[in-house]
Structure 1
Amino acid sequence: MVLSEAEGGCSTGEGGESIVNACVLGGFSESSETRDLLSSLLEIHGDIVAVEFATQRFLVIMNRYQEQPHLLDPHLEWMLNMILEIVRCEHSASSLVHLSFKFLYIICKVRGYKIFMQLLPHEVADVQPVLDLLSKQDPKDSETWETRYMLLLWLSMTCLIPFDLYRLDGDLESEGGKVREPTMDRILAIAKSYLLVSDTPRDAASVLVSKFMTRPDVKQKSLGGFLDWSLTTISQTDDQSMKDIMVLDGALQSLATLFKHGKRDDLLEYAPAIMQCLEQKQLSESSQAMLRKLGVKLIQRLGLTFLKPRLAVWRYQRGSRSLAANLSMSQSNSVATAATPDAEVMEEDYDIPEEVETVIEHLLLGLKDKETIVRWSAAKGIGRVTGRLPKELADEVVASVLDSRRRTSAGGLLKRSGRRCERGFCQELAG
């Protein structure tokens, strides 16, 4: 392992102060051992002991790069190609395929799925094989969830092909006279089914929804139906049973990712109905922190959908880090600011939807949540929504935050609750 400092480099300076030299990795030094481990999968996949040893060793190697995953980037392609060569081989046993996907998931977990999934092949020829392989999986098999997770991410990337999916269907009538299901319908059915599972593939299914439902051909035909299905799923479940909690989690995740990656013009007409459903569901009162967080996240995405994308003229603009440069620019800036009032009037002369007030109320309520993940999501949401408001309305939002802070301090709340609220308000102001 290459280190910038000697391992265990702890020296004692004057005054008894201990200076610990951080061990920083300089590169992926286990590339040859990793290559040997991946090559050995063909031979050891039937030996339980050998598989366990190889898996643990691979985990040890990969976990060293949790804090510096970028060091793996020059090696990701050849590792991916070695594993996919095994997966694509028609003679590979199912145990070998599942083991290969398990190693692939370990790499993906360390590097992060957002980066790693971009390396997955996504040509037209990959759509049907990935879809067929995913259709053969058992969603209830707890031993092979890594396979389903990686296949869902892979299918998400294949959805980026620039051709209409109906072109892949050809003649839907098979040799036996039975009509095959269109590719679009198959992908949609798989996405819905995996949004309802209780394991990690549910997260990958939400990624699939964000890539698949934003396709021009899919959103024209299936977007409205999928959103109706999501709202029905949310309204018919509660957080009293673990099964319903998982179903709610999947539905909320899919909507949050969809409103993140989808176009505003396509989603704006559905936003009021989704907002109404969330208000009736009252997720802020749920006992599950993850559901409260997803509710806050979805509400902030709805708020950004209601408001047009814009760059606030009143935003803070950091000047140059050089004092001399700032002084030399002061005269030119004074001339530019003379024309600013007219620009501000033009920028801020537009209507704000009524739903935005409801969005901000929910986000302000999220700042008082007892869980940090909920408060942080609410703080980011208020910052993003406020950034699209006119200056006068943005001032009102900041005043509401400060007023809530004062009322929390002056009220008879418990000390711990007051500290939680204060941290939420500080997070929002810092954001």
Structure 2
Amino acid sequence: MVIIRSRASRGVLLAVIEVSLCPPVVPLILKALTYDEKRGACSVGSNVRDAACYVCWAFARAYEPPELKPFVTQIASALLITAVFDRNINCRRAASAAFQENVGRQGTFPHGIDILTTADYFAVGNLNNCYLSISVYIASFPEYTRPLIDHLAGRKVYHWHGGIRELASKALHNLTPQASDYMANTVLPQLLPMATGLDMQKRHGAILACAEITHALYKLTSQTDRPVTDILPSDCVEGLKVIHQKLFDKQQYRGFGGELMRPAVCALIEKLSLSRMPFKDSPAISGWQWLIDDCLKSLHLFSGSARQGIKEAAVLALAALCQEYYQAEPGVADVHMQEVLVSQYTAELMSPQVLIRCGCALALGSLPRFMIQNKLQQVLAGLQAACRVNQKEVSFTEARRDAAKAMAQVCATVGVSAQGSVDSVLCAENVSQVYWSLLDCLNDYTTDSRGDVGAWVREAAMSSLLELTLLVVTCDPELLSPELCERMMCCLAQQSAEKIDRYRAHAGTIFLRLLHSSQPAVPHIPHQEELLSIFPAAEVEALNWNAPSQAFPHITQLLRLPRYQYRTLLGLTVSVGGLTESTVLFSAQSLFDYIKTIQQDRPAMEQFGTTLLRIFRDHLRNDRVSIPLLKMVDQMLARGCFDIFTSDDDHPFCVELLALCKQEIRKSKDVQKLRSSITVFCGMVQFQGEIRKAVLFQLLLLLCHPFPVIRKTTASQVYEMLLTYDDVIDPSVLDDVMAQLSDTNWEEDLSVVRNYRNQLCDWLGVQRPILVGKGPAQ
């Protein structure tokens, strides 16, 4: 094939393939267009297919239309199959180019111009678009319908790549309306034996294809109010029913094969349930339920890449299965199955296996309304408990995330009615419980080796709050109390001021969505008019929350709104005192720009200082907040943000700030925290009164800290502080103090260093610390 391509490119194709040789050569080229062989982890067919496309391209230039006319239909179909179904983008584009060349030069390719407008060189670049959209258009022409279907059913359904098998099954679903009888009577019977065969790839693809074709046939028959069994052969109906049992008997849900079989059969269960197959009184239903439950309970046995697919497929299958087979009568649940499923899934929310909790939470969220009827309080109580953080379950982050998602799904399922039953709908008696559970999730800052995994919970909770709020204000706005709305908006403001770009953007988007929601409008938003002036509707679309340079200048304006100040400053604290350079730069600059606007306004500065101290007090010894806060305060002191307080002797702000810093570092062994406190103490010497001596006393204590690195850092920082603030000590001893700080080896033994420190105390007029026992104060 490569030799033919090279000769074709030199214009000697006619010398290689005479017209009389075309009949035996064309089948070889058509075979080459679909050649694909897997070796190891990759395929070795793309070069052959590309060369075959080039040969077809050369045919258009080498032969006159009458000479190729007998082979037009075969070549056109093969090129279009490659153009839309080949896994390799270069091969798809090569086939599209060859088809275009033949259409232009031969003029005999059926519907060539029409197809080219849809399947051009650029359109075939997207694989999903090729399988799910372009192929449907091409199949609308009768010449290409069967070839496309046969290729999918005969080759792509058992392709070595799992993604292609899934796309092929979806493509067969889309192509079913073009040839429903052919699908029902030929393709489906052809696929059913493979669905329970020995080859794992064929089995996987055939199960998916059977599910999609059956569901597509149901959609066609439902338009005329006929059951799908009217068009399906009886042996196919029986074959679909027993697929699960045959796989179970052969133990094909175990091991690596189980990673493919479980989601495939769950997809089959979902599609057969949606197709309303007449299996209600069949033992197959109990087998299907067993598989769904086992998938949700066995997620920890599978690799991380397979878990998500199995979980999602099982949850979708459960929802469809309940909807079709667990109704005693329309809208009324089978009491036995309702009790079994709800009790089972709520109990498993407390499982020691985090993935079992995840699966059961999402399962509860997927249950239809009639299954939750009269069980809502039990379901919500279980999900709320699963959302709660405690010391024993701090690592169950994924479970809390999925429980937060499920809570909004359950509420959307049951609906809202202010005067309704607490066990059947979201009403005045239980709406606040749901809100407070989700709002508590916004305080989940769990970290592990993967980083801030609590962000997954916060993201899910924010999305659920949006869904829940829009649902409530649409049905009964009076259920949303001013207290709940204020807490929700303030928490979103905090999240939109934090340091991780993705979650800041998610929070900011939801904040603005609620603010600008008009149909329905969200009531009781605090400072709504001021917020609309900060975030006008005309600028909302252009605001990029992911960019710190755009987000923080807007967010810091919330600091002037009293109800938002605490939460916004709390979010800004971890950004200003963080590690990411761009986030620190723009958040700090925006904060300082705001402070400049109130720096001469004593009441505003007093309020700001009170809020800052409240944050420090509320998060004392919480390193996630306290260390960034110390870094932020250091920057604020260095920039003179609190100059309005320096003229007052022992201003209450300074006194409490010092007390909180002392509490924060008491008995601490965190070097980062201690270093941050040193810079804060050095910045606080600018305050007047007795507070200055208290600050110097703390610095002198740290000069004899048990950690040599802290003693050395303190000496260096005090030296720089004395150069900056020359009015701190008597000028007559300044040179001696500076020499002592710079010449002393502060990493020596404590018994030696203590003498140098005590001499500094005498020069600075500070009482010598008294040794009271083991501890950092020396």
Shorter-chain TM-score tier: 0.5 to 0.7
Aligned to 1:399: 432
Aligned to 2:208: 149
Amino acid at match of 2:461: F
**Residue number among 369, 374, 381 corresponding to 2:402 in the alignment:** 374
Aligned to 2:361: 296
Aligned to 2:241: 188
Q: How far off its partner does 1:215 sit? A: 5.1
Aligned to 2:371: 306
Hey, what's the Cα distance between the residues in 1 that align with 2:369 and 2:125?
39
Q: 1:306 to 1:88 in 2, by over 3 A?
A: closer
The higher-RCO structure (CA 8 Å, 6+ apart) is 1
Aligned to 1:226: 284
Hey, what's the Cα distance between the residues in 2 that align with 1:425 and 1:136?
46
Q: Deviations over 1:229-253 (max 9, x none)?
A: 2444436964553399798876554
Aligned to 1:328: none
Hey, what's the Cα distance between the residues in 2 that align with 1:105 and 1:62?
23
Aligned to 2:383: 363
Q: Deviations over 1:354-397 (max 9, x none)?
A: x1112222333455662397256325414414524545643344
Amino acid at match of 1:155: T
Amino acid at match of 1:362: G
Residue 165 (structure 1) aligned with residue 154 (structure 2):
no
Residue 123 (structure 1) aligned with residue 174 (structure 2):
no
Amino acid at match of 1:77: Y
Q: How far off its partner does 1:84 sit? A: 5.7
Aligned to 2:341: 274
Q: How far off its partner does 1:187 sit? A: 0.8
Q: 1:76 to 1:168 in 2, by over 3 A?
A: closer
Name structure 2 gaps, 5 residues minimum: 1-27, 38-43, 50-85, 94-121, 389-395, 421-425, 468-778
Hey, what's the Cα distance between the residues in 2 that align with 1:79 and 1:103?
24
Hey, what's the Cα distance between the residues in 1 that align with 2:359 and 2:462?
21
Hey, what's the Cα distance between the residues in 2 that align with 1:402 and 1:428?
9
Q: 1:370 to 1:116 in 2, by over 3 A?
A: farther
Hey, what's the Cα distance between the residues in 2 that align with 1:255 and 1:207?
10
Q: Deviations over 1:246-273 (max 9, x none)?
A: 9887655421333467785467103322
Hey, what's the Cα distance between the residues in 1 that align with 2:403 and 2:333?
26
Aligned to 2:637: none
Name structure 1 gaps, 5 residues minimum: 1-38, 171-181, 308-351
Contact 1:101 1:150 (C-alpha < 8 Å) held by counterparts: no
Aligned to 1:286: 353
Q: How far off its partner does 1:213 sit? A: 3.2
Q: How far off its partner does 1:142 sit? A: 3.5
Hey, what's the Cα distance between the residues in 2 that align with 1:139 and 1:365?
45
Q: Deviations over 1:313-368 (max 9, x none)?
A: xxxxxxxxxxxxxxxxxxxxxxxxxxxxxxxxxxxxxxx61x11122223334556
Hey, what's the Cα distance between the residues in 2 that align with 1:397 and 1:63?
52
What secondary structure does 2:397 align onto? coil
Residue 429 (structure 1) aligned with residue 465 (structure 2):
yes
Identity of aligned residues (%): 11
Q: TM-score under structure 2 normalisation?
A: 0.34
Amino acid at match of 1:306: M
Contact 1:101 1:147 (C-alpha < 8 Å) held by counterparts: yes
Q: 1:201 to 1:51 in 2, by over 3 A?
A: farther
Contact 1:120 1:154 (C-alpha < 8 Å) held by counterparts: yes
Q: How far off its partner does 1:412 sit? A: 11
Hey, what's the Cα distance between the residues in 1 that align with 2:124 and 2:247?
28
1:50-199 to 2 correspondence within 5 Å?
A: 50-51=45-46, 55-57=87-89, 64-65=125-126, 69=129, 73=133, 76-78=136-138, 85-86=146-147, 97-99=154-156, 102=159, 113=170, 117-121=173-177, 123-137=180-194, 138=197, 140-142=199-201, 145-146=204-205, 148-160=207-219, 161=221, 162-163=226-227, 165=229, 182-191=235-244, 196=253, 198-199=258-259
Amino acid at match of 2:146: E
Q: 1:254 to 1:42 in 2, by over 3 A?
A: same
Q: 1:75 to 1:406 in 2, by over 3 A?
A: closer
What secondary structure does 2:242 align onto? helix
Hey, what's the Cα distance between the residues in 2 that align with 1:96 and 1:408?
48
Q: 1:400 to 1:129 in 2, by over 3 A?
A: same
Hey, what's the Cα distance between the residues in 2 that align with 1:106 and 1:413?
35
Q: 1:209 to 1:248 in 2, by over 3 A?
A: same
Hey, what's the Cα distance between the residues in 1 that align with 2:326 and 2:165?
28
Q: Deviations over 1:77-100 (max 9, x none)?
A: 3158787623766xx8xx992247
Q: How far off its partner does 1:430 sit? A: 0.7
Aligned to 1:258: 321
Q: Deviations over 1:133-171 (max 9, x none)?
A: 22332364347844553343223323454346388657x
1:39-50 to 2 correspondence within 5 Å?
A: 42-46=31-35, 48=37, 49-50=44-45
Hey, what's the Cα distance between the residues in 2 that align with 1:107 and 1:62?
18
Q: 1:374 to 1:96 in 2, by over 3 A?
A: closer
Q: 1:131 to 1:285 in 2, by over 3 A?
A: farther
Hey, what's the Cα distance between the residues in 1 that align with 2:278 and 2:229?
8
What secondary structure does 2:367 align onto? helix
Work out the number of aligned pairs and report it: 327
Q: How far off its partner does 1:299 sit? A: 0.9
Aligned to 2:268: 208
Q: TM-score under structure 1 normalisation?
A: 0.56
Hey, what's the Cα distance between the residues in 2 that align with 1:419 and 1:247?
24
What secondary structure does 1:395 align onto? coil
